[in-house]
């Protein structure tokens, strides 16, 4: 549902940016284009959260948007190498966090309710 709305907003921004760039302030065409790309990247990320390439695309698009808004986009500054280093760290941290949560729920939480019903269960053995 939210993806559809974001796509409509992204298309509206791109149409406004491409059709009225002559009447917009200088360099606002690039800001509009980077907002459009960031919104599309977010929709792709929401649909494919498990893939590294979707996170990579979103981070690069956010870096481009931040570069257009706050830094000089014509000069390679510190934000590009920082983003290059942060993307693999974010992916690893997200993956590691998800594995820890799944491990916690598989080991502790479910065994509180259902007991130990795993491979090492003594349920079928007679005493």
* Tokens coding 22: 């002559």
pLDDT > 60? residue 114:
no
Q: pLDDT value at position 59?
A: 86
pLDDT > 60? residue 121:
no
pLDDT band at 102 (very low <50, low <70, confident <90, very high): low
CB proximity list for 13: less than 8 A, separation 6 or greater: 32, 35, 36, 39
How confident is the model over 18-61, as pLDDT tens digits?
888 888 888 888 888 999 999 999 999 988 888 888 888 888 89
Q: pLDDT value at position 84?
A: 78
Alpha carbons within 13 angstroms on the beta-carbon side of residue 7 total: 9
Cβ neighbour number for residue 51 with a 10 Å cutoff: 13
Instruction: Burial-class residue 32 by CB neighbours within 10 Å (0-12, 13-18, 19+).
Output: buried
pLDDT > 70? residue 109:
no
Nearest to 41 by CA among 13, 6, 8: 6
CB proximity list for 16: less than 8 A, separation 6 or greater: 32
pLDDT band at 120 (very low <50, low <70, confident <90, very high): low
């Amino acid at each position: 549902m939210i993806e559809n709305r974001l796509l409509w907003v992204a298309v509206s921004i791109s149409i406004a940016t491409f059709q009225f760039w002559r009447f917009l302030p200088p360099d606002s065409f690039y800001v509009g284009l980077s907002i459009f790309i960031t919104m599309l990247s977010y929709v792709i990320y929401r649909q494919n959260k498990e893939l590294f390439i979707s996170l990579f695309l979103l981070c690069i698009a956010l870096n481009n948007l931040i570069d257009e808004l706050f830094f000089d986009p014509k000069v390679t500054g510190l934000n590009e190498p920082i983003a290059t280093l942060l993307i693999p760290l974010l992916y690893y941290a997200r993956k590691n966090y998800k594995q820890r949560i799944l491990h916690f729920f598989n080991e502790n939480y479910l065994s509180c309710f259902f007991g130990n019903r795993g491979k090492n269960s003594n349920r079928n053995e007679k005493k």
